[in-house]
């Protein structure tokens, strides 16, 4: 199946400008075009875009994502390098999740204190 830049933008919640920018920067492979010159994205392209979005959301720079894509394009001979890059990022994401969970615990604790204080005032005659 083929998708237009507008369809991809709407489906994946990414701007058309960002899609074009990613292609220009080499983060995405060159996208096929229709007879009118419009970009036509495949399911593979959609998967690559989702991968780029996921990696971006973890804090990887475009340069690092481009490196990952180049390793991917190099095939099986670069599997270990790709795995290493992903393992490093996975560790960073796990650290971020841990910190966010600690923060959430603190917020929940403070909210529970407020709830207890509110309940105490509601019981006064």
* Interhelix angle 16-24/5-12, nearest 10 degrees: 110
> Using H for helix, E for strand and C for coil, what is the string for the chain?
CCEEHHHHHHHHCCCHHHHHHHHHCCCCCCCCECCCCCEEECHHHHHHHHHHHHHHHCCCCHHHHHHHHHHHHCHHHHHHHHHHHHHHHHHHHHHHHHHHHHHHHHHHHHHHHHHHHHHHHHCCC
Domain assignments of the chain as residue spans, ordered by start: 1-73, 79-125
pLDDT in tens, the chain (125 residues): 899 999 999 999 999 999 999 999 999 988 999 999 999 999 999 999 999 999 999 999 999 999 999 999 999 999 999 999 999 999 999 999 999 999 999 999 999 999 998 887 676 66
Which pLDDT score is estimated for 125? 64
* pTM across the whole model: 0.78
Classify 1-73 by CATH class: mainly alpha
């Amino acid at each position: 199946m083929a998708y237009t830049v507008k369809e991809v933008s709407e489906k994946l919640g990414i701007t058309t400008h960002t899609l074009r920018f990613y292609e220009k920067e080499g983060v995405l492979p060159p996208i096929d075009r229709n007879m009118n010159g419009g970009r036509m994205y495949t399911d593979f392209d959609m998967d690559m875009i989702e991968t780029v979005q996921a990696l971006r959301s973890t804090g990887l720079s475009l340069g690092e994502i481009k490196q990952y894509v180049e390793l991917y394009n190099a095939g099986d001979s670069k599997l270990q390098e790709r795995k290493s890059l992903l393992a490093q990022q996975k560790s960073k994401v796990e650290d971020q999740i841990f910190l966010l969970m600690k923060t959430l615990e603190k917020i929940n604790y403070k909210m529970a204190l407020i709830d207890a204080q509110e309940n105490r005032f509601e019981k006064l005659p």
